[in-house]
Amino acid sequence: MRTSHVLTIPCEMVYWGRLPAEPRRLNAQALCFRFERLLPVPVESVHCVSTTLPGGETLFIGIEPERLQAYCAAQTGMGPGTWTLVPDQLPDHYTAGGITPDAVTRLNLLQGSFEPAPRRKLRRLTAAVMHCGFALAVILAVIGIERRADALRTHTAAVQSAERILLVEAFPGPALPSAHPELRLTAELRTCEQAAKSPAATATDVAAVLQQVWQSWPTALRLQADTVSASADRIVVAPQRPSPMRRSSLAPVQRSRHPRQATVLNPCRRRAAIVERPSS
pLDDT tens digits along 171-205 = 666 554 455 667 777 877 888 888 777 665 555 66
Average pLDDT over all residues of the chain: 76
Residue with the larger pLDDT of the pair 277 and 11: 11
* Whole-angstrom distance, CA of residue 232 vs CA of residue 242: 30
pLDDT of residue 236: 79
Domains of the chain: 5-121 (3.30.420.380), 202-276 (no CATH)
Beta-carbon contacts of residue 4 (< 8 Å; ≥ 6 apart): 81, 82, 83, 84, 119
pLDDT of residue 273: 41
> What percent of the chain shows pLDDT beyond 70?
74
90 near 101, Cβ under 8 Å?
yes
204 secondary structure, DSSP code = -
pLDDT of residue 278: 47
| pLDDT digit string, tens, across residues 21-55 | 877 777 777 888 888 888 888 888 889 888 888 88
CA distances from 161 to 72, 150, 158, 168 (A): 79, 16, 5, 11
Give the orientation angle of helix 181-197 with respect to helix 117-170, to 10 degrees.
50
Residue with the larger pLDDT of the pair 67 and 113: 67
* Whole-angstrom distance, CA of residue 205 vs CA of residue 203: 7
* Whole-angstrom distance, CA of residue 205 vs CA of residue 202: 10
* Whole-angstrom distance, CA of residue 115 vs CA of residue 6: 13
* Whole-angstrom distance, CA of residue 86 vs CA of residue 110: 8
pLDDT of residue 147: 94
In terms of Cβ atoms closer than 10 Å to its own Cβ (0-12, 13-18, 19+), residue 263 is: exposed
pTM above the 0.75 mark? no
269 near 241, Cβ under 8 Å?
yes
80 secondary structure, DSSP code = T
* Whole-angstrom distance, CA of residue 108 vs CA of residue 102: 12
Beta-carbon contacts of residue 250 (< 8 Å; ≥ 6 apart): 222, 242
Model confidence at 96: pLDDT above 80 = yes
Helices (H), the chain: 28-35, 65-74, 92-96, 117-170, 181-197, 206-215, 244-257
224 - beta bridge partners? 240
**Highest mean pLDDT range out of 48-52, 97-101, 136-140?**
136-140
* Whole-angstrom distance, CA of residue 191 vs CA of residue 247: 52
CA distances from 61 to 25, 28, 37, 113, 144 (A): 20, 13, 13, 16, 51
